[in-house]
Amino acid sequence: MIGSMTDELLQTALAAREKAHAPYSKFKVGAAVRGENGQIFSGCNIENAAYPEGICAETAAIAAMVLAGESKIMEILVVGVSDRPVTPCGGCRQRIREFAGPHTPIHIANPDGVLETLTLEQLLPQSFGPDNLS
């Protein structure tokens, strides 16, 4: 059973998803990140006519977290609308890795609720991160 804290992440990510700028793909994605102090930061995907220049919802949420002075992801939720779970892309997995530990929960949801919860280790096994550089 998903708790009220995760429900709050879902509602925040759904609200962010509604603000996505996806005029080309029409595929809106929202994300919500819970920082170490419990505050939630959200983001949406922002497409660009020069396709590779767009940003993902997870990246936007992480940027908002960092801007607020946070440096640790405690939990993240990604919401999209698809027949299959919409998991973070490879680049976003690495960005999550920068601020999260191997056991950080990553919830994959659609508008009806959480479909699956994975740890970062499950999503990005044998990852390269900040600890590899120390």
pLDDT at 62: 98
pLDDT at 1: 43
* Segments making up each domain of the chain, as ranges: 4-133
pLDDT, tens digit, for every residue of 122-132?
999 999 999 99
Catalytic residues: 58
Q: Give the residue from 71, 64, 110, 104 showing the smallest Cα distance to 87.
A: 110
Instruction: Name residue 64's amino acid.
Output: A
Contact between residue 57 and residue 30 where contact means Cβ atoms under 8 Å apart = yes
pLDDT, tens digit, for every residue of 64-120?
999 999 999 999 999 999 988 999 999 999 999 999 999 999 999 999 999 999 999
Angle made by CA atoms 88, 89, 91, in degrees to the nearest 5: 115
Topology of the domain covering 4-133: Cytidine Deaminase; domain 2 (3.40.140)
> What angle, rounded to 10 degrees, do the helices at 57-67 and 4-18 form?
110
- Token pair, residue 40, equals 């939630």
Q: How confident is the model at residue 10 (pLDDT cuts 50, 70, 90)?
A: very high
pLDDT, tens digit, for every residue of 94-109?
999 999 999 999 999 9
Give the burial class of 1: count Cβ atoms within 10 A of its Cβ; 0-12 exposed, 13-18 middle, 19 or more buried. Answer: exposed
